[in-house]
Amino acid sequence: MAQAAAHCTAGDYRDAADLLHRVLRHDPMHAAAATQLADIEIERGQCGNAVARLLGVLRGKPRFAPALGALARACLATDLLDDALVHAREACALAPADPGYRLQVARVLLRQGALEAARSAVVPLLETGDGSAEFAGSAHGLLAEILEADGDPAALGHFQAAARLLPGDAAHRMSLGIALLRAGRFAEGWNEYAWRHLTPHLRRQALALPDDLRWNGQALRGRTIVLTDEQGIGDAIQFFRYVPMVAARAPARLIHVAFPALAPLFRMAAPVAEVLDALPFGTDLHYHSTTMGLAQVFNTQLATIPGSVPYLLPDPGRVDDWARRLAGDARPRIGLAWSGNPAHQNDRQRSIPAELLLRLTGLPGSFVSLQRDVRPADSEALRACAALRGIGTELTDFAETAAAIANLDLVISVDTAVAHLAGAMGKPVWVLLPRVADWRWLEHRADSPWYPTARLFRAASDGWGPVVARVAAALRGFVA
């Protein structure tokens, strides 16, 4: 058990899991071993396995607080927030002297949007706690997240405190990087944000390429470099602008491993690269980088963002095809998108009900839905909106979406891949942002140095309704 705990601390989950399985073969009812193994499964994204294992533990030991705490984490990871709160509070009641469970309650409250309750739970723990740097760092990090969600600038100081107390904790260092980038402090921000590569979530997503071959700006002439996309489709589109800058370093071979839905579009835009949707086995390479990592390699500052658009161009044949399909209405054509990937950790804040954005269709204009995936909750609003033309099912990949957007006069979207695509094409795009937006949109700005044709509409504490009303007022002037 001690050896397994040491492996977990070092991030070596495979050896830790092997040791824990050995313990369980010797003693199948060992609750602590089963709970620690479930914790590893949660870190690996195997929450279904973890929940089944923990329920088995609790059948034998219904008052085992560590299992209840782990069950709360599994529920939190799968967005079962009410269940997570129940289990976290049960763990607190069983082990009131352990402040870690109180932190867990606060974390669930944060996810539920109960910011004042979450803050009230954390602040006293910073004064009492358990005296360890690990606990204090975790408490500062959680308070920073709560303050950030409330738009409080004091969040940055707590992110810094968490990173100072736990300098080797990749999640805290990444969070500090995000806060610095949002504040426009790119010189510090990129360095801290680079810790994301060591977080379990991104390590699971990344290709298994050697860390010692990560490109840091070395000479590329005569060399092979592999670029990969990371995180989401919008990220890949935003940082694709750096691919030609790598090509200008004259590598012998430039391979760009793109998300399959983007590969056809990227092939059109980057003939200098071999755009693939998977890296062939045995590829001989000298260096690799993620496209997002190139911002740090090229020392990008606010004043040096490569913001020239368009840098993504659609296929002319597909553009002509969409011109024929959308013909017959002389009014300005306006594309709408109201929700992004439901699996995104911030989806609850950045996506909006379709009904809100569809209010715009009462204004003059020809409205087109760019929403490829429609959620069940939005179906009724769409059926009732005769003024909206739905083409989402025809958008088979982003090359098709780009060709459709090329035939529009304006795109209005929440913070999702459609907004990035329109911006990368140099198309006028209005982006609806939550009160605390993603770092790339910076703070207190109505424009974006990443996308010169973008106009940003930021929500305040009064929700999305007033944002849509401001968009409607602007749209009246646009179509006049």
Opening angle at CA 449, ends 401 and 480, nearest 5: 60
Cα(134)–Cα(122) distance, integer angstroms: 15
Instruction: Extract the tokens encoding 227.
Output: 């670029």
Indicate whether this model's pTM tops 0.75: yes
Cα(171)–Cα(176) distance, integer angstroms: 9
Residues 65, 198, 131, 4, CA torsion sign: positive
Q: Pick the range with the lowest mean pLDDT from 305-319, 345-359, 363-377.
A: 345-359
Cα(432)–Cα(60) distance, integer angstroms: 50
How many residues would you count in the chain? 480
Average pLDDT, the chain: 92
Q: How far apart are the first and last CA of the chain?
A: 71
Return all residues near 467 (Cβ < 8 A) that are at least 6 apart.
432, 457, 458, 459
What are the structural domains of the chain?
A: 2-165 (1.25.40.10), 206-304 (3.40.50), 316-479 (3.40.50.2000)
The sheet carrying 454-458 orders its strands as 388-390, 366-369, 333-337, 410-414, 429-433, 454-458
Nearest to 64 by CA among 20, 32, 107: 32
Instruction: Extract the tokens encoding 457.
Output: 């509409």
Nearest to 354 by CA among 382, 330, 317: 382
CB 1 within 8 A of CB 32: yes
Q: 47-95, pLDDT tens digit by residue?
A: 999 999 999 999 999 999 999 999 999 999 888 999 999 999 999 999 9
- Say if residue 235's pLDDT is above 90: yes
pLDDT of residue 349: 81
Q: Pick the range with the lowest mean pLDDT from 13-22, 110-119, 198-207, 300-309.
A: 198-207
| Residue 340: band (very low, low, confident or very high) from pLDDT cuts 50, 70, 90 | confident
Q: 170-207, pLDDT tens digit by residue?
A: 999 999 999 999 999 999 999 999 999 888 777 777 77
